[in-house]
């Protein structure tokens, strides 16, 4: 392969706080074609406390969020640094710099726009090529679920088609310490947005070797670690 996987050095990821607890600093990228709703999803998760003017000038924007999850009786404090990458082709040449050093990717497509789904493989290849870590934890998000009911059925990407892709990807990524899942999301209603970041935390901690095994589904994760009890957050 033309990329080489580099595992992160844990001393670059984890910082000790004054009380002795550990904070994990995790860089994520939001990927996908233009106008699929990446920035709206980020706004739903982060609130309004971030700037937007950079994305159409330098090709990316970012914001941070502190969260805390309890896995197996241990609290893990995580600072997500979320990079929202412009999907327009005019930014193809500059996006590579923003992937470097990321620990995971949220790949977003528009459920009412099949071409955005067809481009998923291109986005995955771009992530693997430029992350400096090779294959990193991924979640595929089918956004604009709130528009599906009233959309022309011929333009809606069937869930079955997405699940077929996810199955194929998990076979390709079988040697990794994470599983790829698909979630239907809506930036308008907030459907599954918090769940996506909860699952990403568990996947990354497993990939880093901190947790014993990765979750295979949202249902498995929530049965073992219910999000409503574990997630405490502070916007920055």
Identify the pLDDT of residue 46: 78
Identify the pLDDT of residue 2: 35
Between CA 233 and CA 56 the distance in angstroms is: 29
Alpha helix (H) ranges present in 47-137? 96-99, 114-118, 120-130
Between CA 33 and CA 174 the distance in angstroms is: 27
Identify the pLDDT of residue 158: 96
Identify the pLDDT of residue 178: 97
Identify the pLDDT of residue 61: 85
What ranges do the domains of the chain cover? 15-235
Contacts of 223 (CB under 8 A, 6+ apart): none
Fold type of domain 15-235? Rossmann fold (3.40.50)
Strand-pair category, 232-235 with 60-71: antiparallel
Which tens digits make up the pLDDT trace of 164-185? 999 999 999 999 999 999 999 9
Identify the pLDDT of residue 5: 46
Tell whether pTM > 0.75: yes
User: Which residues of the chain carry a pLDDT beneath 50?
Assistant: 1-5, 49-52, 54, 57, 229-230, 232-236
Identify the pLDDT of residue 90: 61
Question: Do the Cβ atoms of 128 and 134 come closer than 8 Å?
Answer: yes
Identify the pLDDT of residue 226: 85
Between CA 51 and CA 62 the distance in angstroms is: 8
Identify the pLDDT of residue 150: 96
CA distances from 63 to 32, 81, 87, 159, 231 (A): 18, 6, 18, 30, 19
């Amino acid at each position: 392969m033309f990329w080489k996987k580099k595992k992160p050095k844990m001393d670059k990821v984890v910082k000790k706080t004054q009380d002795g607890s550990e904070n994990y600093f995790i860089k994520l990228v939001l990927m996908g074609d233009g106008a699929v709703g990446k920035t709206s999803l980020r706004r739903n998760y982060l609130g309004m406390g971030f700037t937007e003017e950079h994305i159409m000038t330098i090709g990316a924007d970012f914001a941070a969020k502190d969260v805390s999850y309890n896995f197996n009786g241990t609290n893990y404090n995580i600072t997500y640094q979320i990079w929202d990458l412009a999907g327009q082709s005019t930014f193809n040449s500059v996006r590579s710099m923003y992937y470097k050093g990321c620990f995971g990717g949220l790949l977003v497509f528009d459920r009412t726009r099949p071409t955005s789904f067809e481009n998923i493989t291109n986005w995955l290849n771009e992530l693997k090529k430029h992350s400096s870590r090779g294959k990193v934890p991924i979640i595929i998000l089918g956004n604009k679920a709130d528009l599906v009911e009233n959309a022309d059925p011929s333009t809606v990407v069937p869930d079955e088609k997405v699940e077929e892709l996810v199955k194929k990807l998990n076979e390709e990524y079988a040697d990794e310490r994470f599983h790829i899942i698909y979630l239907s999301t809506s930036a308008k209603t907030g459907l599954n947005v918090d769940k996506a970041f909860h699952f990403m935390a568990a996947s990354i901690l497993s990939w880093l070797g901190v947790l014993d095994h990765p979750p295979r589904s949202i249902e498995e994760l929530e049965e073992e670690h219910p999000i409503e009890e574990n997630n405490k957050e502070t916007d920055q």
